[in-house]
Amino acid sequence: MKKYLFNSFSEIKNKTRNKHILLCLDYDGTLVPICKDPSLAKLSPETRKLLIDLSQNPCISIGIISGRSLSEVKDLIGIEGIIYAGNHGFEISYKEHCWVHPEAERTKPLLKNVVKKLKVQLNTIDGILIEDKGLTLSVHYRNVAGRPAKDIKKIIQNIIGPYHETLRITSGKKVYEVRPNINWDKGKAVIKMKHLLNLREEILKIYIGDDRTDEDAFKVLREDDISIVVGYKKYSKARYFCRSSKEVILFLRCLKSFS
């Protein structure tokens, strides 16, 4: 059973004692609240300052892992010296190094073609938002009224049907995503980030996320790591939960005080 984060502080504090921490954070719904328009989900100056302070602690390495494109999430956070993973970990950047999954790179021309077809068929639906993120694409329907989500999914399925061996559909909060049909996810991205940072095996991993895509990361954490889901979700494999992105920020303040 998941434990409420703020009823478990002595336990968490003990886990972090004398450990190097790899702190992995999702962006939307975790560091910032979900917005109807993703472009409005801006990091507050206070949260950015908190992340800078944490990143300057020699015992903490910070990774941001988001479904947004790598360039976008780096612009939104704007902190040097931390590691970023965009497109659910298909692309990872640390300092001057940038790693892109080679199989995902090969699907980019096909995704461009799919984006064009989606725009033709979906742009007549009021409130639809199509994001071309290079290695993946997102179809947001949060602002769509009077059109069932399953209808939108059916249109996407029909377009990518001929490419089912190369592309697949996943779903998130009021969004469908088309991504390369590759055995890769946020969990594997966390392990890749650890290797790129050259961290030892015995580090403590903390992962905080709010979406189904974060479940893959929760699954790769060890029993003594710390997994936190934002919002209580029965299906989640996280060991702890908090209620909102505001509580995430409160937890990060606490982590700064006792790490």
Q: Is the pLDDT of residue 50 over 80?
A: yes
The distance from CA 158 to its chain's CA centroid, rounded to whole angstroms, is 27
- Tell me how far apart the 2 most distant CA atoms of the chain are, in Å: 56
Q: What is the pLDDT of residue 201?
A: 78
Superfamily holding 104-180: Trehalose-6-phosphate phosphatase related protein; domain 2 (3.30.70.1020)
Measured CA to CA, the distance from residue 147 to residue 126 in angstroms comes to: 9
Q: Do domains 3-101+184-258 and 104-180 have the same CATH topology?
A: no
* Coil, helix or strand at residue 128: coil
User: Which region holds residue 155: left if phi is over 0, alpha if psi is between -120 and 50, else beta?
Assistant: alpha
96-138 confidence digits (pLDDT tens): 889 999 999 999 999 999 999 999 999 889 999 999 999 999 9
Which residues are tagged catalytic?
26
1-47 confidence digits (pLDDT tens): 889 999 998 999 999 998 999 999 999 999 999 988 888 899 999 99
Tell me 89's DSSP state: G
Strands 60-65 and 21-25, how do they pair? parallel
Strands 137-140 and 83-86, how do they pair? unpaired
Amino acid letter at 63? G
144-195 confidence digits (pLDDT tens): 988 889 999 999 999 999 999 999 999 888 999 999 999 999 999 999 999 9
Q: Is the pLDDT of residue 259 over 80?
A: no
Which tokens go with 109? 């021309």
Is residue 242 within 8 A of residue 61, CB to CB? The reply is no
Measured CA to CA, the distance from residue 95 to residue 84 in angstroms comes to: 9
Is residue 45 within 8 A of residue 52, CB to CB? The reply is no
Measured CA to CA, the distance from residue 238 to residue 240 in angstroms comes to: 6
Backbone angles phi, psi at 70, to 5 degrees: -60, -45
Q: What is the pLDDT of residue 202?
A: 84
Which residue ranges make up each domain of the chain? Answer: 3-101+184-258, 104-180
Over the chain, what is the mean pLDDT? 94
59-92 confidence digits (pLDDT tens): 999 999 999 999 999 999 999 999 999 999 999 9
Is residue 28 within 8 A of residue 41, CB to CB? The reply is yes
Percent helix, strand, coil in the chain (nearest 5)? 40, 25, 35
CATH of region 3-101+184-258, choose from 1.20.1560.10, 3.40.50.1000, 3.90.700.10, 3.40.50.300: 3.40.50.1000
Average pLDDT in the 194-220 region? 93
